Amino acid sequence: MVTLSEENYLKAIYHLGKQGSVVVSTNAIAEQMETKASSVTDMIKKLADKNLANYIKYQGVSLTKEGRLAAASVVRKHRLWEVLLVEKLNFSWDEVHEVAEQLEHIKSEKLINELDAFLNYPEEDPHGDPIPDKEGNIKKVEKILLSQVDENQSCICVGVKDSSTDFLKYLDKHHISLGTSIKIISKEKFDESMTINVNNALINISKIVSNNIYVKKG
């Protein structure tokens, strides 16, 4: 049995090391989880004992195949629940995270499969992040940061890198959501801000903003 706490560590390692295949440091995990390095060391040992992680003292951790699947399963659940919250229960995309953090730990194979079917097998969560399938596979989609797009090019918002409440509310205020068409009008050299056209309104966004919006050509 994988405990709630173990699931959270697996998820952190999964996210830090691109789907868990890369070695990550104790401190990185501690920062991600807002805990202390010593707590991380303790837990890593438990994960290694359970064959969920590969661990070499002082060197870092990566997930085993089993650990990767367990982590992907938690992420799958998190994202499916987020879809339910937004599509059926009137949550906005900035309200779902906290609740999904709880729901992702509910243990029931049937529940998650039925939820998947009920939601019509969504491929992405409300922030444009891919939903792993039962085997833990994710569909890689072409996406680049808005900051990479050149002047006079048009693109479509397909996701966000930062999904904090503050950032999502900022996007809401400027009517930017998934599927929104964005045209780059101009880019400033000195601060790398850009002026963009969204729904025929011109707005100026900082580099920080354009660096946290994923878009595709179009």
Residues that bind DNA (CB under 7 A): 3-6, 8, 25-28, 35-46, 55, 57-60
Give the one entry of DNA, a second copy, none that residue 21 binds, where binding means its C-beta sits below a cut-off of 5 to 8 angstroms depending on kind: none
Give the one entry of DNA, a second copy, none that residue 190 binds, where binding means its C-beta sits below a cut-off of 5 to 8 angstroms depending on kind: none
CB of 73 to DNA, least distance (A): 17
Comparison of 10 and 168: residue with beta carbon closer to DNA = 10
Comparison of 109 and 150: residue with beta carbon closer to a second copy = 109
User: What DSSP letter does each residue of the chain carry, written as one string?
Assistant: ---HHHHHHHHHHHHHTGGGTS-B-HHHHHHHHTS-HHHHHHHHHHHHHTTSEEEETTTEEEE-HHHHHHHHHHHHHHHHHHHHHHHHS---TTTHHHHHHHHTT---HHHHHHHHHHTT--SB-TTSPBPP-TTS-------EEGGGPPTT-EEEEEEES---HHHHHHHHHTT--TT-EEEEEEE-TTT--EEEEETTEEEEE-HHHHTTEEEEE-
Comparison of 111 and 202: residue with beta carbon closer to a second copy = 111
Give the one entry of DNA, a second copy, none that residue 124 binds, where binding means its C-beta sits below a cut-off of 5 to 8 angstroms depending on kind: none
Give the one entry of a second copy, DNA, none that residue 38 binds, where binding means its C-beta sits below a cut-off of 5 to 8 angstroms depending on kind: DNA
Closest CA relative to residue 61, chosen from 10, 102, 122 = 10
CB of 7 to DNA, least distance (A): 9
Comparison of 108 and 199: residue with beta carbon closer to a second copy = 108
Binding site for a second copy (CB under 8 A): 85, 88-91, 95, 98-99, 102-103, 106-108, 110-111, 114-115, 118
CB of 83 to a second copy, least distance (A): 14
Comparison of 41 and 154: residue with beta carbon closer to DNA = 41
Dihedrals phi, psi of 195, to nearest 5 degrees: -100, 130
